[in-house]
Structure 1
Amino acid sequence: MDAAQPPWRRVAAALEERITDGTYASGARLPGTVPLSVEFGVAPSTVAKAVRHLKERGLVTASPGWGTFVV
């Protein structure tokens, strides 16, 4: 990953890679914002921005109260 990229882009790229390589299969629930923020060493708001980006790209969908799922 490119260290010159903003942190949210690095997180989004890592999550997208996990989706495309099958780590997070279609229908799988993504880990929550807090666990991902701990894993990546970033603020929860940074993870939220990365997930919003993935939603805009159509890779994930959010279900309030249930979580975020791979499309």
Structure 2
Amino acid sequence: MSRDLDRTRAVWRQIAAVIAERIEDGTYPVGSKVPSVVDISTEWQVAASTAQKVMAHLKGEGLVRTEVGLGTFVADRAAD
């Protein structure tokens, strides 16, 4: 379900925008697990370091939270 990426713009930002859009539209509801770095790398055919930038950005924006040993989940922004 990946889209074509514009290779003239920062790829990680484009992927982060798509995942944020999926969170917003309910594809990934609050509390649900989001794709891992490996899953993002595979879906978008990007390096793991690019996928890590995506996750770091989403976490920095407060869209996701990480639980050590369990994974990364959509954050409940209303609880903040």
Same fold (TM over 0.5): yes
User: Does residue 50 of the first structure (1) align with residue 58 of the second (2)?
Assistant: no
CA apart distance, 1:5: 2.1
Q: Deviations over 1:4-53 (max 9, x none)?
A: 32111011011101100100000000121112111011111111111110
Q: Deviations over 1:40-70 (max 9, x none)?
A: 1111111111111011110000111110000
Match of 1:41 in 2: 45
Counterparts of residues 1-71 of structure 1 (less than 5 Å): 3=6, 4-71=8-75
Distance in 1 (alpha carbons) for counterparts of 2:5 and 2:33: 26
CA contact (8 A) 2:31 2:73 kept: yes
TM-score, length of structure 1 as denominator length? 0.90
Identity %: 45
Which sections of structure 2, spanning at least 5 residues, go unmatched? 76-80
Which sections of structure 1, spanning at least 5 residues, go unmatched? none
The secondary structure found in structure 1 opposite 2:27 is coil
The secondary structure found in structure 2 opposite 1:8 is helix
TM-score, length of structure 2 as denominator length? 0.81
Instruction: Give me the CA root mean square deviation.
Output: 1.5
Report how many aligned residue pairs link the two structures: 71
The secondary structure found in structure 2 opposite 1:24 is coil
